[in-house]
Amino acid sequence: MTETLMRGIFAPVVTAFHQSREIDSDRSIAHCRWLLDHGCDGLVVFGTTSEANSLSLLERKRLLEAIVGSGISPAQLLVGNGACALPDAVDLATHALQIGCGGVLMLPPFYYKAVSVDGLFAFFAEFIDRVADPRLRVYLYHIPPVAQVGIPLTLIEKLSARYGRLVAGIKDSSGDWENTRRLLTEFTEIQVFPGSEAFLLPALRLGAAGCISGTANVGAETMQQLYQNWQTAKAEEIQSKLNRVREIFQRYPIIGAVKAVLAAANDDDSWRYVRPPLSPLSDPDSKVLMRELEGLEFQLPKF
């Protein structure tokens, strides 16, 4: 049995597309490799930044196979498993387990709003019961600004009480430090990843497992420096640098911005393709973004 507890800096990797908006596995994998060589301990495939919810279930399975087939260890992958329909979530997680990925990052079902904690519990419980695999490790994905439906603390309590270490962690992308703080101090049995590096140092001081952030697609090395040096005198300075980078990215939609940087750094405009309903960053915005990043000591992802 592979233990798949995740720790460290994770990038929710952007997905590369051809001009037709079909998935470009080769470029996607090249980016994955670069990230693992430049600061990432692991990758979230099919996170929000991956445009995962714009990919069909079959496309996700094929890309996951291609990534693992390329030699990237499945133990380093957290498989994003966002689905409104329970059968889809069970299907993708079962497939992920078959190819060696035990860790799944699960959104709550996000179409119906104002659902009860009991209803959410029933969804996750039925998911775990149906997957029925002791290797499964569920990382809950709390991102109310996008999904609208969140992961209430009482839901984690109920799930942990029933499933123990199968409920392994949470990514908190609420942007609400108080929520992250409560997770870190009141839910010490699960691994807590803030969804923003802006909280990385205070979170590590409270025992965070690491960080999963969209900007790790371009800035994982600095995050890794902080992850390794958070108890040293350099910590505050590294956090300040992270904050400066994040402030720049926060002015733009994150997916378009990350892809614009990849396009500029690799002199390859095809990196800018996104699937609708998202739009690529405009030319002028891309130029301003690159100029802003120039001022920082910051290795761009070039492969």
Binding site for a copy of itself (CB under 8 A): 21, 48, 53-59, 82, 84-88, 91, 108-113, 115-116, 118-120, 122-123, 126, 145-149, 275-279
Quote the least distance from Cβ 227 to a copy of itself, whole Å.
29
Which residue, 8 or 82, has its beta carbon nearer to a copy of itself?
A: 82
Which residue, 108 or 210, has its beta carbon nearer to a copy of itself?
A: 108
Q: How far apart are CA 257 and CA 272, in angstroms?
A: 9
- The SS3 call for residue 225 is helix
- The SS3 call for residue 214 is coil
Which residue, 105 or 192, has its beta carbon nearer to a copy of itself?
A: 105
Distances (CA, A) of 128 to 86, 160, 191: 10, 12, 18
Quote the least distance from Cβ 91 to a copy of itself, whole Å.
7
Which residue, 78 or 151, has its beta carbon nearer to a copy of itself?
A: 151
Quick count: other Cβ atoms within 10 Å of Cβ 32? 23
Q: How far apart are CA 61 and CA 91, in angstroms?
A: 10
Which residue, 278 or 296, has its beta carbon nearer to a copy of itself?
A: 278
Quick count: other Cβ atoms within 10 Å of Cβ 111? 10
Quote the least distance from Cβ 230 to a copy of itself, whole Å.
33
Quote the least distance from Cβ 273 to a copy of itself, whole Å.
12
Q: With the CA atoms of 262, 221, 147 and 96 taken in that order, what torsion angle do they form, in degrees rounded to the nearest 10?
A: 90
Instruction: Judge contact between 197 and 242, C-beta under 8 A.
Output: yes
Quote the least distance from Cβ 1 to a copy of itself, whole Å.
28
Instruction: Judge contact between 123 and 158, C-beta under 8 A.
Output: no
Q: How would you write 287-300 as a 3-class SS string?
A: HHHHHHHHCCCCCC
Q: How far apart are CA 86 and CA 166, in angstroms?
A: 18
Which residue, 38 or 171, has its beta carbon nearer to a copy of itself?
A: 171
Which residue, 58 or 296, has its beta carbon nearer to a copy of itself?
A: 58
Q: How far apart are CA 162 and CA 238, in angstroms?
A: 40
Tokens of 70: 């390329």
Quote the least distance from Cβ 119 to a copy of itself, whole Å.
4
Quote the least distance from Cβ 113 to a copy of itself, whole Å.
6
